[in-house]
Structure 1
Amino acid sequence: MIGTEGYSPPEQYRGQAEPAGDIYTLGATLHHVLTQQDPRLEPPFTFAERPIHKANPTVSPELEAIIMRCLAYDPKERFLNAKALKETLEQLKESLAAPVAVPAAVPVGAATPSSGTHPVPSAETAQPIEDAAIQPIWVFKCEDEIRQKAVVANKMVFVGAYDNNLYAVKTSNGEFVWKYPAEDSVGSSIPFVYEDHVYIGSADKNMYSIQIKNGRLNWKFQAGGAIYSSPVVKFDHVFFGSDDGYFYAINSNHGRSAWKTNAYGAVRGTPFVDDEFIYFGTEGGYIYCLELASGKTKWQSQAKRSITSSPTVADEIVFVGSMDATVYAFDAGSGYVIWRFRARRPIISSPIMHKDTVYIGSSDGSLYAIDMESGRQQWSFETEGQVNSSPAVWDDAVYFGSTDGNVYSLGLRRGDLRWQFNTNAPIVASPVIVDNVVYIGSTNHNLYALPA
């Protein structure tokens, strides 16, 4: 895929470059200009969920309809070419009083009723605790946005930022230890610590192995495309996917390839690796199960849209979210669907299991608690933004971020609000919790250490 994330049309992720893609990109630019909502910070293809008039009431319904037609998910529903778009805009200019007939764009990820789920009203929320009651233990400022999860090991926090750097800071006080500069962004990949090294992927197509003690390069392995996937290291091998459509296994000691498997679509999530099998999703909408030793495909199953969410496995069930606004439960041995749970909007957040409950966020603004056996909703908590952050559980609470700028702590049983902390900038990163401290980054460039 060539282009800027957020501005590129969906078909371009499948390798299709057509004139209709330029129409989409222009529509995305106009939407950004008129709403001041950066599409790079939003889930892909969600313009229909963010109407222009809500952010900018001065925009006429006619102009908004034209722009939303440019942003239609299906290329066939957009303007045929730039000439057709120009003519429609000129008609609008000539007669502002007469509305221009433009077919509405198809809403992306619109939820439909599902017989397999039984929604429960959102949990009653307690009065929010004032931000003054939650004070950061420390704050470390990077040079660009933090959009991914940090990792804690060896009394250090490791986090990638969009300034191309992997940072290492002390857990005790946030003091800078070292940073390693990649050739392009490492902000989409979650670091993984294994023995004396930290591993991270980059948009420059490289998987890096870096020495923990001094931040020096141990080795790097080049894939055929950008690596937005996060690595998992097990049995002295690094497992990850790439935008070149392949899933890789390389030796963790020297970076030589062990095997690679064609997944026929970009892999951007974190794989789940157990003692025998590997599970991951693709932007083509497939969930794969590979044999760990050989990379041979055991089974694959399909969602209706891309799977950027990272799967988790518990009790022989694979749980994962999809851009089709659905949480899936697959049989880990066969790939058959056990149940589906429908949210209202696309899901990028990755699920976490705790006891008998699946916790996952959605771009509809809610965090959901779902019974793992039946797929029924136990409770939901609604925020003022999108919940693309993946939740984390510590003691009797679940923690996550929202694009409304807040870090939330909720009670596990009913989803009651325990506290929230406002960073005054969208949060798409996920929290990691160690020794009663919540570490989470924000798009304001800051990494926060908060008391759990």
Structure 2
Amino acid sequence: MALGASLILACAGLIPLPVPPASQIDPEEAWLMLGKNPQHHHAVNRNVHPPIALVWKQRLHSVVTDHPLAFESYLVTALRNGNLAIFSLERQEQIAMDRIGPTMGHVPSIHLPFLFAGFNLGKHTLLALNLRNTQREFRRQYPEVTTSPIYWDRKLYFGTNRRQFFCVNARSGDSIWTFKARAAIHASPAIRDPLVVFADDKGNVYALDVSSGITFWQTSLDGSIFSHPVLDDSMVFVGTVSGLFVALDQKTGKVRWQTQLNGSIYSSPSLYQNFLYVGTNGHEVVALRKTDGSILWRFQTDGIVNTVPLSSPDYIYVGSWDGNLYILNRFTGKLIFKQELNSAVKSSPIIYQQYLIVHSANKHLWVFATEKFAREIKEK
């Protein structure tokens, strides 16, 4: 199907997308899951240099869960009200919108041609949607899905409000194995083979075998955990509502280091090279060395920061409940640029292709670029 033909039914519902096979998508470029990769680094290898300028914006009521997804020329946003909105970067407009479930608490995962979404309300709480033909591959009944469903090796992994953590077949939706945690699970899983790591609301962090669900280790921390863990090649990084930011050994679960921050941590960290960047309810963005947890710099905003900062080679891009998007020097934390968005930022920014994309709650999806690139686009 030609791209033009696929856009005829714009905004009336979902439309078939001429998406390529998953093997043809560059994982270094695309955003197909929470945090961009299974380890949730939320980092890119490209800058959008400030000053930035608006390319286009689109009104979007509700809140975008976690952050937008992006592949080919498409932006995909899952909203807390259960709607799925799809945009064309080429056309600079919304091309489809439909309600796919009651409510969504977290971003879906995409493994083309399928989009996998979890719902935290209703009877059927796990959905596989074929983006090529808009047909449901499956709808399955599970307890309320309270994490992002992560795709890995033809399987989906997700947590629920009834303490159960599931591994299911990504083609059928049938359960492969189940693990019972000590509390409800809102911290989305991260995967680094052979581990799947997640946390529960009572501060327990779990590392299970991705294939069997057998427990490798379990560690209890001080404070509830709602932020998803982030993995490098040897450690697990996670924050708690008590303001404790912790690094655990991936093999043993033992605490490597811990650092007390100002304010509860609902934001997950982004990881770029040897540094972590995390927001707090104390209105701060903090940079820490991943080797020992020492603080490199702090930056104060005028509002809560409970979204994941985006790290790039030279900058940190972070939204705050004060209604601003901040661009900071990654090495010093110095403010380089501030963009007013006029409402609280409750979704994380992403960089895709030449664009910096962010949503302000119940207002707009904003698409920015460098001033030069934005001017070139408008002159076409």
Do they fold alike, i.e. is TM over 0.5?
yes
Please report the TM-score for the alignment, with normalisation by the length of structure 2: 0.80
User: Which structure has more strand as a fraction of its residues?
Assistant: 2
The yes-or-no answer on 1:190 pairing with 2:107 is: yes
SS in 1 for 2:208: strand
Which residue of structure 1 aligns with residue 158 of structure 2? 240
1:220 is matched by which residue type in structure 2? R
The yes-or-no answer on 1:219 pairing with 2:138 is: yes
Of 347-356 and 174-183, deviating more is 174-183
Q: Deviations over 1:137-177 (max 9, x none)?
A: 22122232335211112321111113221211113344223
Of 283-292 and 135-144, deviating more is 135-144
Q: Structure 2 CA distance, aligned partners of 1:215 and 1:396?
A: 39
1:352 is matched by which residue type in structure 2? S
Q: Deviations over 1:270-303 (max 9, x none)?
A: 2111221101111121111010001111111111
SS in 2 for 1:240: strand
Which residue of structure 1 aligns with residue 259 of structure 2? 341
Which residue of structure 2 aligns with residue 6 of structure 1? none
Higher normalized contact order (CA 8 Å, seq sep 6+, divided by chain length): 2
Aligned pair partner of 2:80 in 162, 179, 196: 162
2:119 is matched by which residue type in structure 1? S
Which residue of structure 2 aligns with residue 83 of structure 1? none
Q: Which runs of 5+ in 2 are unaligned?
A: 1-49, 371-380
Which residue of structure 2 aligns with residue 175 of structure 1? 93
Contact 2:161–2:186 (8 Å) recurs in 1? yes
1:399-410 matched pairs, under 5 angstroms: 399-410=317-328
SS in 1 for 2:54: coil
1:203 is matched by which residue type in structure 2? N
Q: Deviations over 1:372-398 (max 9, x none)?
A: 111100001110001101011123111
- Which one has the largest radius of gyration? 1
Q: Structure 1 CA distance, aligned partners of 2:57 and 2:284?
A: 27
Which residue of structure 2 aligns with residue 287 of structure 1? 205
2:135 is matched by which residue type in structure 1? R
Going from structure 1 to structure 2, the CA distance change for 1:390 and 1:415 (only over 3 Å counts) comes to: same
The yes-or-no answer on 1:305 pairing with 2:202 is: no
Contact 1:248–1:257 (8 Å) recurs in 2? yes
Aligned pair partner of 2:349 in 424, 428, 431: 431
Contact 2:157–2:166 (8 Å) recurs in 1? yes
The sequence identity of aligned pairs, in percent, is 24
SS in 2 for 1:419: strand
1:168 is matched by which residue type in structure 2? I
Of 258-267 and 378-387, deviating more is 258-267
Q: Which runs of 5+ in 1 are unaligned?
A: 1-128
Which residue of structure 2 aligns with residue 208 of structure 1? 127
Contact 1:178–1:214 (8 Å) recurs in 2? no
The yes-or-no answer on 1:354 pairing with 2:272 is: yes
Q: Deviations over 1:72-92 (max 9, x none)?
A: xxxxxxxxxxxxxxxxxxxxx
Which residue of structure 2 aligns with residue 378 of structure 1? 296
Q: Structure 2 CA distance, aligned partners of 1:204 and 1:219?
A: 17
Going from structure 1 to structure 2, the CA distance change for 1:370 and 1:303 (only over 3 Å counts) comes to: same
Contact 2:310–2:317 (8 Å) recurs in 1? yes
Which residue of structure 1 aligns with residue 333 of structure 2? 415
2:197 is matched by which residue type in structure 1? Y
Q: Deviations over 1:390-416 (max 9, x none)?
A: 011123111111000111111111011
Please report the TM-score for the alignment, with normalisation by the length of structure 1: 0.68
- Per-residue deviation at 1:445? 3.3
Going from structure 1 to structure 2, the CA distance change for 1:143 and 1:386 (only over 3 Å counts) comes to: closer
Matched length: 319
Going from structure 1 to structure 2, the CA distance change for 1:215 and 1:382 (only over 3 Å counts) comes to: farther
Q: Structure 1 CA distance, aligned partners of 2:210 and 2:366?
A: 36
Q: Structure 1 CA distance, aligned partners of 2:215 and 2:108?
A: 26
1:29-108 matched pairs, under 5 angstroms: none
Which residue of structure 2 aligns with residue 448 of structure 1? 366
Going from structure 1 to structure 2, the CA distance change for 1:147 and 1:196 (only over 3 Å counts) comes to: closer
Q: Structure 1 CA distance, aligned partners of 2:330 and 2:101?
A: 41
Runs of 4 or more consecutive aligned structure 1 residues displaced over 4 Å after TM superposition: none
Contact 1:147–1:427 (8 Å) recurs in 2? no
1:218 is matched by which residue type in structure 2? E
Q: Structure 1 CA distance, aligned partners of 2:203 and 2:62?
A: 31
